[in-house]
Amino acid sequence: MKEPSKEQWKMAQKFSYVRRFETNDTLLPQCWIVLRIDGHHFTQFCDQYQFEKPNDIRCLNLMNDSARALMEYFPDIVMAYGQSDEYSFAFRPSTQLYKRRTSKLVSLGVSCFTAHFVMGWPRYFPGVPLTVVPTFDGRTVCYPNQKAFKDYFAWRQADCHINNLYNTCFWTLVRRGGLSNLDATERLKGTDAAQKNEILFTQFSINYAKEPAQFRKGTTLARLAHPAPAVAEQLPVVPIPGPPPAAPVEPAAGSQAPSSAAAPATAAPASTTTYPGDGRDYRRAALASSRTDCHTLLRYH
């Protein structure tokens, strides 16, 4: 590569003053950094693809996979919490990633999350072309101590509980109770959590406490370094849907069907456990990260 001439160096120096207009966006040192990524105009996006109300397990699991990918991209994320169309990621207080610049963390975090959401779409929505681009926004907040850090995630989980209870009650009134959206809104106006639970149980025999924990409480991803085998075996396992199985190929007329002996053997993934009587494969929720040599645990708190 040719070295720049003196004239080129002078020209670069002439215009370098413009860098002084850049703002210093370095986040405070020794604070927990939380990056929150939110779906942008996701109500319209859900309506476009007719998501199941109040919760679409396909989209929730796609969000989980996108969050897991982001944790592998950013080795200093120690945990993440997601519910509905949002995910919060906690960076360790000592992180020096990108010199703690919020513009870098937000832009890279949102772009990485969105890219994996788009790439993973065909796995969870087979046969549904992605014609509307999903968009997410992001922000970073610093929390100076452990109490504020814990309270942040307690706040997000409380938000999950409040919203999911309301939405479960609302859509049950609409779909099973025959109410219009406006009537269901009026019916729930001023009701507290106990009254919503009562409506679900007395009118529709729904025990809200037995609804899937993923819907009621959200999803927590935690990074543990080298868990002991005994600990790893006790970790909860969650179903991770894969692509739909390929349709069997009918042999052409006059041709002989391939024998089972000739079929290549396929080894089961090391992280897969089959539960008797269930008929489905479950991937153990301890996923090795090639970037950080740690494990990502998926559980519902």
Could you tell me where the beta strands, DSSP code E, fall in the chain? 32-40, 77-83, 86-91, 135-143, 219-224, 237-238, 272-274, 281-284, 286-288, 295-299
Q: CA-CA distance, 54 to 112, in Å (whole number)?
A: 27
The pLDDT value given to residue 19: 84
Q: CA-CA distance, 301 to 298, in Å (whole number)?
A: 10
The pLDDT value given to residue 284: 32
Residue 219 is classified by DSSP as: E
Q: CA-CA distance, 145 to 30, in Å (whole number)?
A: 9
DSSP string spanning 57-118? HHHHHHHHHHHHHHHHH-TTEEEEEEETTEEEEEE-TT--GGGGBHHHHHHHHHHHHHHHHH
Q: Is 286 helix (H, G, I), strand (E, B) or coil?
A: strand
Q: Is 5 helix (H, G, I), strand (E, B) or coil?
A: coil
Q: CA-CA distance, 157 to 218, in Å (whole number)?
A: 7
Could you read off the pLDDT tens digit of each residue along the chain, which spans 301 residues?
A: 677 787 777 777 888 888 889 889 999 999 999 999 999 999 999 999 999 999 999 999 999 999 999 999 999 999 999 999 999 999 999 999 999 999 999 999 999 999 999 999 999 999 999 999 999 999 999 999 999 999 999 999 999 999 999 999 999 999 999 999 999 999 999 999 999 999 999 999 999 999 999 999 999 999 886 554 544 444 444 444 444 444 454 555 554 544 433 443 333 333 333 323 333 332 333 333 223 333 344 454 4
User: What are the pLDDT digits (tens) for 32-46?
Assistant: 999 999 999 999 999
User: What are the pLDDT digits (tens) for 73-84?
Assistant: 999 999 999 999
The pLDDT value given to residue 195: 97
Q: CA-CA distance, 38 to 177, in Å (whole number)?
A: 32
The pLDDT value given to residue 36: 98
Cα of 219 vs its chain's centroid, Å: 8
Q: CA-CA distance, 23 to 16, in Å (whole number)?
A: 15
